[in-house]
Amino acid sequence: MQPIKKTLLCLAVSALFAVGGASAAEQGQGKITFKGLVINAPCSVDPESVDLQVSLGEVSDKALASGTSAAVPVNIQLNDCVLDDGSGGALFSKVKVKFTSASVTGVDNNLLANLLSGGAQHVGVRLMQENEQHIGIGSTVEVPLTGTNKIQVLKFKAHMEPVGGAPTPGEVEATANYVLEYL
């Protein structure tokens, strides 16, 4: 190929790339904010467990009037756990979990109240240990940590139950906070 043809070919290819880039219009933009927290603890709290969303399911008001909904798992996952001092001696063998809430029912202060105005009435949410023993709001539960596993799962349960009258249909949303203390 002659030098002039090579030069023309290179110019043509360059022009194509320039036109392709110029024709691509901006079609949207946004911002991504990353947030986190460094904590002084032997384990990291899994991102999914920081703001845990638990589905209690769709439960018949008639079934709930005569009992409770089925208990569903509430698992708090801890990652990257360092539970020993490296010489085989355990530094941490259990964790205290304290559940608190600003919204409990007036009838039973250990039952989380429905926060949704216009939602289901006379329905509360009960937190329980894995064996379904009730957990008092404001009280502390000790959970053993499993050996030197890097991942620890703190297993609890929750269900809906009637409180102060016959449950009415509607959405239910309740919140509880938890604080961990390693022992």
Give the span between the Cα atoms of 73 and 130, in whole angstroms: 8
Q: Is residue 30 part of a domain?
A: no
Q: Where are the alpha helices (DSSP H) in 69-153?
A: none
CB-based burial, 151-164: b 16+ in 10 Å, e otherwise:
ebebebbbbbbbbe
Q: Is pLDDT above 70 for 9?
A: no
Q: Is residue 38 part of a domain?
A: no
Q: Is residue 21 part of a domain?
A: no
Query: Could you tell me the strand order of the sheet in which 72-79 lies?
Result: 44-45, 72-79, 152-162, 123-129, 112-113
**Overall domain count for the chain:** 1
Cα-Cα-Cα-Cα dihedral sign, residues 85, 45, 172, 107: positive
Q: Is residue 35 part of a domain?
A: no
Q: Is residue 3 part of a domain?
A: no
Give the span between the Cα atoms of 10 and 8, in whole angstroms: 5
Domain range spanning residue 122? Answer: 44-182
The CATH number given to whatever domain includes residue 167 is: 2.60.40.1090
Cβ neighbours for 150, distance < 8 A, ≥ 6 positions apart? 79, 80, 81
Residue 33 has a pLDDT of 82
| pLDDT band of 13, cuts 50, 70, 90 | low
Q: Is residue 15 part of a domain?
A: no
Average pLDDT, the chain: 88
Residue 136 has a pLDDT of 96
Q: What is the pTM of this model?
A: 0.81
Residue 127 is given by DSSP the state: E
Quick: pLDDT tens for 32-41. Answer: 888 899 999 9
Residue with tokens 């009730």: 134
Q: Is residue 36 part of a domain?
A: no
**Contact of 74 with 151, CB cutoff 8 Å:** no
Q: Is residue 69 part of a domain?
A: yes
